[in-house]
Amino acid sequence: MFRFHKNLPGIGGIKKAILGKWNIIGGRETIEFFEDGTIILDSKEGSLVGDYRFLDENRIRIDLGGIAAMAGSQVARISKVNDRITLDKLFDQKIELKKGYDS
């Protein structure tokens, strides 16, 4: 009988895949995910720092500080296709990210 093992490849794969800095497609903001669970959202208005954790291989919980903390914890569906990540239902929006670097 085949049993799904959570460490292969699902949650472990996406956890490693999101690490680094990502550009929000259609915007000027960036989101950076760190291995220790820290997340930084940079925009022209400033930076928001918070933390994230995976609830399972398809959902991520994000808690941001600053004014975004008023919205409370956000749970989004997460998926990765090629070089893009989609966060669906993050602040009631579908946000697409593409791996980026400072220029």
Number of domains making up the chain: 1
**What domain range is 69 assigned to?**
10-99
In angstroms, the CA 22 to CA 8 distance is: 24
Give the tens place of pLDDT for each residue, 11-29: 568 889 999 999 999 999 9
Q: Is the pLDDT of residue 50 over 80?
A: yes
Query: Domain holding 89: CATH number?
Result: 2.40.128.270
For the chain, the average pLDDT equals: 85
| Spatial distance between the Cα atoms of 15 and 29, rounded to a whole number of angstroms | 21
Structure tokens that stand for 55 in this block: 């609830």
pTM attached to this predicted model: 0.81
